[in-house]
Chains A and B, each alone.
Chain A
Amino acid sequence: MHVGNNSEDFLNALASHKGIVYKVANSYSRNDASKKDLIQEIIVQLWLSFDKYDDDYKLSTWIYRIALNVSISYYRKEKRRRVISQPLPDELLHIDTVEKEVSKQPEVEKLQRLIKELKELDRAIIMLSLDGYDQQEIADIMGISVTNVSTRKSRAKKKLRQKFETDT
């Protein structure tokens, strides 16, 4: 069944899954400016793809897949989009309060920072795993086998653990 047929559906879907957009953008951006650009690009791409959404899949899974696909291949230098009528709005998520709050939790900040040091694909697997997706769901999002997810996940977690222990 198709649900993605109007902007209100889209805005509701986005409002309930904004955390995914933020987390992915935050994990793949190099700095604050590129984070805002990336959030914008993910949201644009979600909107452009929304009419293709098929609710046989969980909305969160679908959003994660698009957010990861946009983020892994994203470069600020590549901003060549041509907006036909007017510039795109900048501030789509209010992120300042979140960042202030997160900065009060050094361990969370450290975890975020160390996740960013992982390779792009390992980073995706770790985030999905920490977000509670099971191995089959991760395999569907990534397009790899469940066995491969299991191997990759344990390796990435081991790396993350080592980084966490040695990082001062």
Chain B
Amino acid sequence: MKEPEFEELWKSYDKKLEENLSLNKKNARDITSLKVQSLLSSMRPVKLFALITGLLWVGIGFLIIIPIFLYGFESANKFFLFSATIQLTVTAAGLWIYLYQLILINQTDITEPVLETQKRLAKLKSSTLWVAQIMFLQLPVWTTFWWNETMFNEWNLIQWSIALTVTLLALYAAVWLFINIDESNKDKKWFQLLFGDQEWSPIIHSIELIEQIQEYNDENK
């Protein structure tokens, strides 16, 4: 089919729309009188809440832990202390993601050209993967929180083997996932198994969109 024929078909489609499509003015007028947020603006409070809650968690956590390091280190449970420090440090790193997302939300203007706006929106969605990376990175410390020095005296080899195996597996999984949860692996089976749920589909879609945008930008140069 030649190009003009596509255009002819499209014109006939337009004609049908012209003749048959009508605006429900009453409902459209209702929209103009309601207090309503755009989908993008409605994301802002969620991100802000996550950022503030995270800041409180990290702040209070460090307020408790720093004095222990300074004044009670000798008597403290070192496993708990170091596990908590790692957890709080990783969470603090995760807070930058929420800050970055808030900046992207504020910078996005839906009236701007398509590529620029879509790039921001796609980055906003795909950055949720970073949250997953951070979550997984905390995995090993949740297996060491409860360790204590008496375990050295009381545990037998089997108990130690189990505890160490669980922790090492968690450590391996955390590091492996941290490195491999990446846009370039989106087509791998394990990635789709992990993020194949419908909840994640906007994120996977945003990664594909970033690739399209990149292709367009490469040709723009």
CA–CA, A22 and B39, complex, Å: 19
- A14-B28, A144-B220 as given contacts; A19 in contact with B10, CB under 8 Å: no
CA–CA, A135 and B200, complex, Å: 36
Contacts of B118 in A (CB 8 A): 69, 72-73, 120-121
Bitwise, B207-221 to A at CB < 8 A (1) or not (0) is 001001100100110
CB <8 Å contact, B3 and A157: yes
Query: Which of chain A's residues 114-162 have a Cβ closer than 8 Å to chain B?
Result: 119-121, 124, 130-132, 140-145, 148, 151-152, 157, 160-161
Q: Is A78 an interface residue (CB 8 A)?
A: yes
- A94-B24, A121-B212, A142-B115 as given contacts; A11 in contact with B32, CB under 8 Å: yes
CB <8 Å contact, B17 and A19: yes
CB <8 Å contact, A93 and B24: yes
Q: Which of B17, B117, B202, B216 is within 8 Å of A23, CB to CB?
A: B17
CA–CA, A161 and B7, complex, Å: 12
Contacts of B219 in A (CB 8 A): 148, 151-152
CB <8 Å contact, B20 and A43: no
The smallest beta-carbon distance between A78 and chain B, in angstroms, is 6
CA–CA, A156 and B148, complex, Å: 64
Contacts of B43 in A (CB 8 A): 80
CA–CA, A142 and B13, complex, Å: 23
Residue in A closest to B115 when the chains form the complex, CB atoms? A143
CA–CA, A141 and B206, complex, Å: 20
Contacts of A119 in B (CB 8 A): 212
- A11-B32, A131-B10 as given contacts; A69 in contact with B16, CB under 8 Å: no
Contacts of B199 in A (CB 8 A): 77
Contacts of B23 in A (CB 8 A): 11, 14-15, 18, 92-94
Contacts of A143 in B (CB 8 A): 112-116
Contacts of B7 in A (CB 8 A): 130, 132
CA–CA, A160 and B7, complex, Å: 12
Contacts of A18 in B (CB 8 A): 17, 21-23
CA–CA, A11 and B27, complex, Å: 10
Q: Which of B13, B36, B116 is within 8 Å of A48, CB to CB?
A: B36
Query: Which of chain A's residues 82-123 have a Cβ closer than 8 Å to chain B?
Result: 82-86, 88-95, 97-98, 101-102, 105, 107-108, 111-112, 119-121
Q: Is B14 an interface residue (CB 8 A)?
A: yes
CA–CA, A79 and B40, complex, Å: 10
CB <8 Å contact, B21 and A22: yes
Residue in B closest to A49 when the chains form the complex, CB atoms? B111
- A89-B27, A143-B112, A151-B219 as given contacts; A77 in contact with B201, CB under 8 Å: yes
CA–CA, A48 and B109, complex, Å: 11
7 sample A-B contacts, Cβ–Cβ < 8 Å, listed by A number? A11-B28, A88-B31, A91-B24, A121-B115, A121-B213, A157-B3, A157-B6
Q: Which residues of A pack against B, CB within 8 Å?
A: 7, 10-11, 14-15, 18-19, 22-23, 41, 43-45, 47-49, 52-53, 62, 65-66, 68-70, 72-75, 77-86, 88-95, 97-98, 101-102, 105, 107-108, 111-112, 119-121, 124, 130-132, 140-145, 148, 151-152, 157, 160-161, 164-165
Closest 10 A-B residue pairs measured CB to CB? A143-B113, A89-B27, A7-B32, A130-B10, A84-B35, A143-B115, A73-B121, A97-B20, A75-B202, A19-B17
Q: Which residues of B pack against A, CB within 8 Å?
A: 1-3, 6-7, 9-10, 12-14, 16-39, 42-43, 46, 110-118, 121-122, 125, 198-199, 201-202, 205-206, 209, 212-213, 216, 219-220
